[in-house]
């Protein structure tokens, strides 16, 4: 049966040699578009193309069913399956911190010998052996939401993911004008603090997003003549563009990572940062941590949209708490992705692979939204509850 799908307009992406189910292929390294804040939707510039379904079954492993983000991704998977006449079984651990559970689910999926696997890895290093096993079994893998940069050659045929470094930078770009005057007044004797809460330091998408925010904020502050230091979680301190010297810094970027991926523990990290007298802003880099910032504020009552009145907060992804916080003046805005389209395009990509078509990485856009544009036609469909 043949269906129609919007063709993807790609930026600089990895081109892969043709591969069918049960075959292997070689790939060339991808390059990442250097974009501050993605604007126009990839889907908006689309043109029709043919994709034929088949009697295929796929196993899809998401990071968890903990948040509405992943529920939206599964909805996209189901929609694509219905259009193409294929089947998919979606599975995932209870919590994004349950790395061992996810690896076991991936290994179980490989044992089922599906026509392909969709994978959103909780921890990119933990799945390397499993990806080798899938490659040896001739099972193509499409990663979505999170790429696996060190994947064994040929094991991942394509990645459907937001340009996370650019998306993190987008949050910094939109936050900075609000705090710019406060930053300008900072001195080494009286520095200001900008917080960031990341749910982990293991998933590639969270790493890139967190570092994207940090590096862009360093760039913006440095351009205004300020010395910046990064403190807190060791991974982000050691991998940012310049960790600086806290002793002489005028702007301190403090990064918190909870012990596990829960809103309550993210709120604990946010509370530590927001309770400090010099904190002027905070960013939660995904749905869980953004809700953690909001939860911390329920007792602190420090978030505001005016730096003269409190701490400037920004988030990532969507969900009812974030949308309410933006409308209520607790967050200045957030960056959203399109998990539904990621799930949808993962299935279409797997079908293309099984039909012997050439496939490529699909970089997805991120969008800054606030109280003024939440109802815009290119924003509203991505604001899942």
Q: CATH no. for residue 171?
A: 3.40.50.2300
State how beta strands 279-284 and 303-304 pair: unpaired
Residue 371 lies in a domain: no
Work out the average pLDDT over 116-144: 97
- pLDDT of residue 26 exceeding 90, the answer is no
State whether 19 and 112 are in the same domain.
yes
- pLDDT of residue 34 exceeding 60, the answer is no
Residue 377 lies in a domain: no
Work out the average pLDDT over 276-304: 98
- pLDDT of residue 103 exceeding 60, the answer is yes
- pLDDT of residue 94 exceeding 60, the answer is yes
What are the tokens at 88? 């998919």
**If DSSP states are collapsed to H, E and C, what string results for the chain?**
CEEEEECCCCCCCCEECCCCCCCCCCECCCCCCCCCCCCCCCHHHCCEEEEECCCCEEEEECCCCCCHHHHHHHHHHHHHHHHHCCEEEEECCCCCCCHHHHHHHHHHHHHCCCCEEEECCCCCCCCHHHHHHHHHCCCCEEEECCCCCCCCCCCEEEEEEECHHHHHHHHHHHHHHHHHHHHHCCCCCCCEEEEEECCCCCCHHHHHHHHHHHHHHHHHHHHCCCCEEEEECHHHHHHCCCCCCCCCCCEEEEEECCCCCCHHHHHHHHHHHHCCCCEEEEEECCHHHHHHHHHHHHHHCCEECCCCCCEEEEEECCCHHHHHHHHCCCCCEEEECCHHHHHHHHHHHHHHHHCCCCCECEEECCEEECCCCCCCCCCHHHCCC
- pLDDT of residue 132 exceeding 90, the answer is yes
| 340-380 confidence digits (pLDDT tens) | 999 999 999 999 999 999 999 999 888 999 999 999 988 99
- 22: pLDDT confidence band, cut at 50, 70 and 90? very low
Residues counted in the chain: 385
pLDDT at 31: 29
Residue 375 lies in a domain: no
Residue with tokens 């998977």: 77
- pLDDT of residue 307 exceeding 80, the answer is yes
Work out the average pLDDT over 200-217: 96
Residue 333 lies in a domain: no
State whether 58 and 177 are in the same domain.
no
Q: State percent of the chain over pLDDT 90.
A: 82
What are the φ/ψ torsions at residue 281 (nearest 5 degrees)? -160, 160
Residue 376 lies in a domain: no
- pLDDT of residue 1 exceeding 50, the answer is no
The two most distant CA atoms of the chain are separated, in Å, by: 69
Mean pLDDT lowest among 25-39, 73-87, 123-137: 25-39
pLDDT at 322: 97
Q: How far is CA 240 from the centre of its chain?
A: 17
State whether 6 and 152 are in the same domain.
yes
Residue 328 lies in a domain: no
- pLDDT of residue 39 exceeding 70, the answer is no
Distance CA 245, CA 247 (A): 5
Q: What angle (nearest 5°) sits at the alpha carbon of residue 124, between those of residues 244 and 10? A: 90
Q: Which of 28, 33, 4 is nearest to 16 (CA)?
A: 28
State whether 127 and 189 are in the same domain.
no
pLDDT at 275: 98
Residue 98 lies in a domain: yes
- pLDDT of residue 46 exceeding 50, the answer is no
Provide the mean pLDDT of the chain: 88
For residue 234, what are the domain limits? 165-317
Distance CA 274, CA 276 (A): 5
| 227-284 confidence digits (pLDDT tens) | 999 999 999 999 999 999 999 999 999 999 999 999 999 999 999 999 999 999 999 9
State whether 74 and 171 are in the same domain.
no
- pLDDT of residue 37 exceeding 90, the answer is no
State whether 118 and 261 are in the same domain.
no
- pLDDT of residue 36 exceeding 50, the answer is no
Q: The pTM is what?
A: 0.79
State whether 129 and 195 are in the same domain.
no
State whether 78 and 104 are in the same domain.
yes
Mean pLDDT lowest among 44-58, 132-146, 190-204, 277-291: 44-58
Number of separate domains in the chain: 2
State whether 97 and 215 are in the same domain.
no
Distance CA 246, CA 380 (A): 41
Work out the average pLDDT over 148-154: 95
Exposure pattern of 349-376 as b/e (b: 16+ CB <10 Å)? bbbbbbbebebbbbbbbbbbbbeeebee
State whether 75 and 16 are in the same domain.
yes
pLDDT at 30: 29
Cβ-based neighbours of 315, under 8 Å, separated by 6 or more: 283, 284, 287, 289, 290, 293, 294, 322, 325, 331, 333, 334, 335
Distance CA 196, CA 198 (A): 6
- 53: pLDDT confidence band, cut at 50, 70 and 90? low
Cβ-based neighbours of 352, under 8 Å, separated by 6 or more: 51, 358, 359
Angle between helices 204-223 and 164-184 (to 10 degrees): 30
What are the tokens at 364? 């997805």
**More reliable by pLDDT, 51 or 187:** 187
State whether 190 and 294 are in the same domain.
yes
Do the Cβ atoms of 121 and 95 come closer than 8 Å? no
Exposure pattern of 243-274 as b/e (b: 16+ CB <10 Å)? bbeeeebbbbbbbbbbeebbbebbbbbbbbbb
Residue 332 lies in a domain: no
- 52: pLDDT confidence band, cut at 50, 70 and 90? low
pLDDT at 270: 98
Distances (CA, A) of 207 to 144, 195, 356: 15, 15, 33
State whether 177 and 83 are in the same domain.
no
């Amino acid at each position: 049966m043949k269906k129609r799908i919007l063709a993807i307009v790609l930026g600089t992406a990895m081109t892969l040699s043709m591969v069918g189910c049960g075959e292997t292929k070689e790939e060339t390294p991808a390059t990442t578009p250097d974009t501050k804040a993605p604007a126009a939707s990839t889907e908006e510039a689309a043109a029709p193309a043919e994709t034929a379904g088949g009697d295929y079954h796929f196993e899809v492993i998401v990071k968890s069913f903990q948040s509405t983000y992943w529920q939206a991704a599964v909805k996209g998977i189901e929609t694509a399956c219905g259009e193409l006449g294929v089947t998919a079984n979606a599975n995932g651990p209870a919590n994004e911190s349950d790395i061992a559970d996810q690896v076991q689910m991936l290994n179980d999926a490989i044992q089922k010998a599906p026509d392909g696997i969709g994978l959103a890895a909780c921890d990119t290093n933990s799945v390397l052996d499993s990806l080798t096993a899938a490659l040896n079994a001739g099972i193509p893998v499409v990663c979505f939401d999170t790429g696996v940069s060190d994947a064994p050659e040929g094991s991942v045929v394509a990645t459907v993911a937001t340009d996370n470094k650019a998306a993190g930078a987008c949050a910094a770009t939109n936050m900075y004008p609000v705090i710019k005057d406060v930053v300008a007044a900072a001195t080494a004797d009286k520095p200001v603090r900008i917080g960031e809460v990341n749910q982990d330091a293991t998933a590639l998408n969270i790493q890139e997003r967190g570092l994207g925010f940090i590096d862009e904020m360093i760039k913006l502050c440095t351009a205004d003549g300020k010395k910046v230091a990064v403190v807190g979680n060791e991974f982000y301190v050691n991998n940012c563009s310049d960790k600086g010297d806290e002793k002489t810094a005028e702007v301190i970027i403090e990064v918190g990572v909870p012990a596990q991926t829960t809103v309550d523990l993210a709120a604990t990290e946010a509370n530590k940062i927001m309770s400090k007298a010099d904190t002027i802003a905070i960013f939660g880099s995904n749905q869980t941590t953004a809700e953690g910032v909001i939860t911390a504020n329920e007792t602190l009552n420090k978030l505001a949209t005016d730096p003269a009145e409190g701490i400037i907060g920004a988030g990532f992804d969507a969900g009812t708490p974030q949308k309410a916080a933006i409308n209520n003046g607790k967050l200045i805005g957030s960056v959203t992705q399109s998990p539904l389209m990621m799930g949808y395009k993962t299935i279409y990509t797997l079908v293309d692979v099984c039909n012997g078509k050439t496939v490529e990485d699909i970089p997805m856009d991120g969008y800054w939204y606030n109280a003024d544009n939440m109802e815009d036609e290119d924003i509203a469909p991505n604001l899942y509850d």
